[in-house]
């Protein structure tokens, strides 16, 4: 069995128009067999375009794609037999039951798992005979995953599998995906939830405006940020204006970066227990007062903010 | 597991079987679709068949203008029960009211006397209204006879009443054709666009499903629906109105299948690019409306000017209805309908070819 599940080189997708839209601008990546790989980025970053090229649903403007050692142009049918897909938004026929929908999808594959098995893996046994229109959002998303795994794929593509779901449904889906990955199968998922990527993915690629801006395991990326902790504080209104927005904190020892945003100072630090006394001392000297202070572990979100100056769940600046 | 069940399971789990089953289930679980495909043509047949049934004696609405001989005329007309006024009996009214009734269509003919030109009777009517012309001749005969005319030749009437020449006999083949058209449009065109909007076409494309299986399932389920649709209409027409097929059953069945294929192709073409229900609804109406009006569903296209007929004869529904009528009403053989069958086949081939070329899966 091949050791690389997905490999793509210099992937480019340009949509004709005036001006042409460069949705994907040269993406290189390799997903190892058995790996859960996350493509993380804000809406409009090019995640769906990238995954749909890999899924064979879009044709790249240029670049190479290899799926499980095969190429779309040469063996499309063999690739389709070996992969499972959940699209960003598919609305299955409202008036077919879970069982009927999955039996239909199962019939498309030469080999696969029993429909009952797929239903059990996503925990929809109680809804076997329920029509799709009577399922909740989370149940529909689980049905989509069941339809993706019913052909027993070696590689699973999930495009934003938990977008719009409540936290409980989201956790249920994570568990299903985790169990699938535990069988040594490869998973590629896109998401704009950093927490999802941290929970599920062995490695993530952070995409912004059609390019990979960071690639590595969630822990690596956070470490690369320079500090694993974040100290956030706001100052009381009576503090002098210059002091409140002062951005001199980055010069303190053990502080690797500092951002001031919406009245909040956010410092990435290596040693919070040494940094906090410095902050308090500095403020006392100047007569400033703290309104709030929190400290937490750094997250992928902080990596994205540091790299782009924007938050993940915002739109890119010029759209 | 024995061999037979394995074979059965293989057929049941074949993608084509599963796709057809899904189409049928979705259809039956959609009450509105069932009504429009099955109920609507049936309702249309019952309503039109009842409204335009042949009645033993047609009532003729006549009004007499007040004058010196008005009562005498009224008496002559009252002897014949065909003549009525709006209230029941033939009435004598002022000239103004008579004119108003004629204008509003409440009376077909006004009879008056005391004409300035010296004639005995004056008939006022619209010569373009068929009932009026007939009323004029019938009343003229009655009044002439009453005035003492003697017919030189003797006449004998033999009346025949045979199903086949009634309006309902004309209507049923038209409704069959209309049903095939609506079925192809809704059953193939609308269904495909709906799948495209739901991104299900794209989702299917991401599986190893063969495209030919998908399109094949669309056509197979269309033919299966057609069988039910046609049987319901034909049997209802027979039980309710005694409409029978005077031609060969096989010929009628062949035409129905050709028609279903033709409108399947047109439905596919209409759906090949449309990305919203609004677009496909608009396109479907654009295609169907001219044929509802101009293909002879409810009335013969001979009512249109000859130049327009040449164009109307080329529409897909016209040859279908014409040949269905020829078979069912006159027992014409398929051989005699080769030009029509050729035109239907041409529409089928061309629309399928274009649809295959333009079809967009996502």
> From the DSSP assignment, how many helices (H) and strands (E) are in chain A?
11, 13
CB contact under 8 A, A87 and B204: no
A268 forms beta bridges with A230, A257
Q: What's the ipTM?
A: 0.83
Q: In this model, does residue B321 exceed pLDDT 90?
A: yes
CB contact under 8 A, A77 and B203: no
Which stretches of chain A are assigned E, i.e. beta strand? 4-15, 21-32, 36-40, 62-67, 83-86, 155-159, 186-191, 203-208, 211-216, 229-235, 255-261, 264-269, 290-297
For B310-319, what is the mean pLDDT? 95
Q: Which residues in chain A are contacts of B209 at CB distance < 8 A?
A: 108
- pLDDT at position A319 is 37
Query: How does pLDDT run across B216-239, given as a tens digit for each residue?
Result: 999 999 999 888 889 999 999 999
Q: Which residues in chain B are contacts of A151 at CB distance < 8 A?
A: 207-208
A183 vs A187, higher pLDDT: A187
Residues of B in CB contact (< 8 Å) with A are 13-15, 17-19, 21-22, 25-26, 29-30, 198-200, 202-209, 362
How far apart (Å, rounded) are the C-alpha atoms in residues B251 and B245?
10
Lowest mean pLDDT among A202-216, A241-255, B92-106, B263-277: A241-255
Determine which of A75, A81, A107, A112 to mutate to test the interface with B (most B C-beta atoms within 10 Å). Answer: A107
- Residues A68 and A155: beta-carbon distance below 8 Å: yes
- Cα B339 from chain centroid? 22
- pLDDT at position A314 is 53
**Cis bond upstream, residue A19 (ω within 30):** yes
Q: In this model, does residue B101 exceed pLDDT 50?
A: yes
- Residues B83 and B111: beta-carbon distance below 8 Å: no
pLDDT tier at A318 (50, 70, 90 boundaries)?
very low
Chain A: residue nearest B25 by CA?
A96
CATH architecture, range B60-146: 3-Layer(aba) Sandwich (3.40)
- pLDDT at position B269 is 94
A113 at the B interface (CB within 8 A)?
Answer: no
Place of tokens 């690797």: A256
- pLDDT at position A205 is 94
Q: In this model, does residue B59 exceed pLDDT 90?
A: no
Mean residue pLDDT across chain B: 87
CB contact under 8 A, A95 and B200: no
CB contact under 8 A, B199 and A151: no
Q: Which two tokens stand for residue A314?
A: 């915002």
pLDDT tier at A87 (50, 70, 90 boundaries)?
very high
Residues 24-63 of A with CB under 8 A from B: 55-57
CB contact under 8 A, B22 and A92: no
In chain B, which ranges are continuous DSSP H helix? 3-12, 15-28, 31-34, 40-51, 70-78, 95-103, 130-146, 167-184, 191-197, 200-205, 211-241, 249-271, 277-294, 306-312, 317-330, 338-358
A72 at the B interface (CB within 8 A)?
Answer: no
In B242-337, which ranges are continuous DSSP H helix? 249-271, 277-294, 306-312, 317-330
CA distance A41 to chain B (A): 23
Write A50-55 long-range contacts (CB < 8 A, 24+). Answer: A50/A11, A50/A13, A50/A24, A50/A190, A50/A207, A51/A157, A51/A159, A51/A188, A51/A190, A52/A159, A53/A8, A53/A11, A53/A13, A53/A24, A54/A6, A54/A8, A54/A157, A54/A188, A55/A83, A55/A85, A55/A157, A55/B206
Packed helices A167-182 and A137-149: angle between N→C axes, nearest 10 degrees: 10
Q: Which residues in chain B are contacts of A131 at CB distance < 8 A?
A: 29
Q: Which string of b and e fits A96-108 if b means at least 16 CB within 10 Å? A: bbbbbbbbbbbbb
Q: In this model, does residue B7 exceed pLDDT 70?
A: yes
CB contact under 8 A, B199 and A91: yes
For B47-62, what is the mean pLDDT? 75
Question: Which of A81, A90, A107 is the closest to B200 by Cβ?
Answer: A90
Query: How does pLDDT run across A283-298, given as a tens digit for each residue?
Result: 888 777 888 888 888 8
Chain B: residue nearest A53 by CA?
B206
A90 at the B interface (CB within 8 A)?
Answer: yes
- pLDDT at position B5 is 55
Q: How many CA atoms lie within 13 A of A229 on its CB side?
A: 15
Query: How does pLDDT run across B177-187, given as a tens digit for each residue?
Result: 999 998 888 88
Question: Which of A57, A77, A109 is the closest to B202 by Cβ?
Answer: A57
Radius of gyration of chain B (CA): 28
- Residues A26 and A11: beta-carbon distance below 8 Å: yes
A152 at the B interface (CB within 8 A)?
Answer: no
Domain ranges of chain B: 17-52+163-358, 60-146
Would the CA dihedral through A199, A200, A204, A207 be positive or negative?
negative
CA distance B179 to chain A (A): 24
Sheet containing A155-159: order of strands: A83-86, A155-159, A186-191, A36-40, A203-208, A211-216
Instruction: Please report, rounded to a whole number, the percentage of residues in chain B having pLDDT higher than 90.
Output: 42
Question: Which of B18, B30, B207 is the closest to A103 by Cβ?
Answer: B18
Residue B63: its H or E element: strand B60-65
CA distance A83 to chain B (A): 8
Q: In this model, does residue A226 exceed pLDDT 90?
A: no
What is the CB neighbour count within 10 angstroms for residue B137? 10
- pLDDT at position A317 is 45
Q: Which residues in chain B are contacts of A134 at CB distance < 8 A?
A: none
A104 at the B interface (CB within 8 A)?
Answer: yes
B38 vs A35, higher pLDDT: A35
What is the CB neighbour count within 10 angstroms for residue A64? 12
For A224-251, what is the mean pLDDT? 75
Q: Which two tokens stand for residue B333?
A: 């053989």
Phi, psi of B247 (to 5 degrees): -105, -165
Mean residue pLDDT across chain A: 87
pLDDT tier at A242 (50, 70, 90 boundaries)?
low
B56 vs B269, higher pLDDT: B269
């Amino acid at each position: 069995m091949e050791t690389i599940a997905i490999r793509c080189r210099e992937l480019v997708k340009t949509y004709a128009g005036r001006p042409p839209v460069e949705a994907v601008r040269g993406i290189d990546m390799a997903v190892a067999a058995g790996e859960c790989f996350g493509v993380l980025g804000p809406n409009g970053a090019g995640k769906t375009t990238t995954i749909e090229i890999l899924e064979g649903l879009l044709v790249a403007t240029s670049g190479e794609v290899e799926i499980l050692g095969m190429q779309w142009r040469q063996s499309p049918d063999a690739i389709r037999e070996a992969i499972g897909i959940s699209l960003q938004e598919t609305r299955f026929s409202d008036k077919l039951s879970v069982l009927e929908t999955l039996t239909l999808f199962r019939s498309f594959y030469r080999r696969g798992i029993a429909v009952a098995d797929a239903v059990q893996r996503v925990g929809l046994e109680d809804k076997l005979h329920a029509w799709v229109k009577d399922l909740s959002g989370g149940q529909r998303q689980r049905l989509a995953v069941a339809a993706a795994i019913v052909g027993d794929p070696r590689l699973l593509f999930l495009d934003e599998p938990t977008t719009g779901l409540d936290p409980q449904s989201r956790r249920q889906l994570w568990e299903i995906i985790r169990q699938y990955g535990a069988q040594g199968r490869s998973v590629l998922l896109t998401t704009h939830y950093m927490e999802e990527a941290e929970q599920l993915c062995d490695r993530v690629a952070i995409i912004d405006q059609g390019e990979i801006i960071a690639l590595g395991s969630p822990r690596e990326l956070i470490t690369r940020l320079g500090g694993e902790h974040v100290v956030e504080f706001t100052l009381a209104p009576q503090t002098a204006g210059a002091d409140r927005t002062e951005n001199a904190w980055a010069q303190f020892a053990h502080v690797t970066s500092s951002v001031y945003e919406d009245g909040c100072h956010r410092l990435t630090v290596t040693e919070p227990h040494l940094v906090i006394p410095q902050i308090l001392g500095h403020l006392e000297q100047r007569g400033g007062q703290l309104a709030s202070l929190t400290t937490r572990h750094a997250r992928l979100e902080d990596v994205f903010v540091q790299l782009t100056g924007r938050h993940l769940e915002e739109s890119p600046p010029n759209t | 597991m024995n061999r037979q069940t394995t074979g059965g399971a293989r057929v049941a789990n074949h993608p084509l079987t599963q796709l057809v089953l899904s189409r049928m289930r979705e259809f039956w679980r959609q009450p509105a679709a069932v009504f429009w495909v099955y109920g609507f043509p049936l309702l249309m047949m019952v309503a039109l068949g009842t409204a335009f049934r042949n009645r033993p004696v047609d009532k003729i609405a006549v009004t007499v203008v007040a004058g010196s001989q008005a009562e005498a005329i009224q008496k002559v007309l009252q002897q014949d029960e065909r003549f009525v006024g709006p209230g029941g009996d033939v009435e004598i009214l002022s000239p103004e009211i008579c004119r108003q009734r004629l204008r509003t269509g409440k009376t077909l003919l006004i009879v008056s006397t005391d004409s300035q030109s010296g004639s005995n009777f004056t008939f006022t009517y619209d010569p373009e209204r068929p009932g009026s012309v007939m009323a004029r001749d019938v009343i003229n005969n009655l009044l002439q006879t009453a005035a003492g005319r003697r017919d030189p030749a003797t006449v004998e009437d033999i009346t025949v009443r045979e199903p086949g020449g009634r309006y309902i006999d004309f209507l049923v083949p038209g409704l069959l054709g209309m049903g095939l058209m609506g079925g192809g449009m809704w059953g193939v065109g609308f269904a495909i666009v709906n799948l495209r909007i739901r991104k299900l076409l794209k989702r299917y494309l991401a599986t190893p499903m063969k495209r030919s299986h998908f399109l094949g399932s669309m056509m197979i389920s269309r033919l299966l629906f057609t069988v039910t649709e046609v049987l319901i209409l034909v049997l209802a027409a027979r039980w309710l109105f005694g409409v029978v097929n005077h031609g060969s059953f096989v010929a009628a069945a062949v035409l129905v299948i050709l028609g279903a294929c033709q409108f399947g192709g047109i439905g596919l073409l209409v759906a090949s690019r449309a990305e919203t229900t609004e677009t496909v609804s608009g396109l479907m109406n654009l295609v169907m409306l001219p044929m509802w009006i101009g293909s002879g569903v409810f009335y013969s296209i001979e009512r249109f000017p000859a130049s327009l007929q040449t164009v109307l004869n080329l529409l897909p529904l016209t040859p279908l209805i014409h040949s269905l009528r020829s078979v069912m009403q006159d027992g014409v053989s398929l051989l005699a309908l080769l030009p029509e069958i050729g035109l239907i086949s041409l529409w089928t081939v061309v629309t399928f070819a274009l649809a295959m070329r333009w079809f967009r899966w996502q």
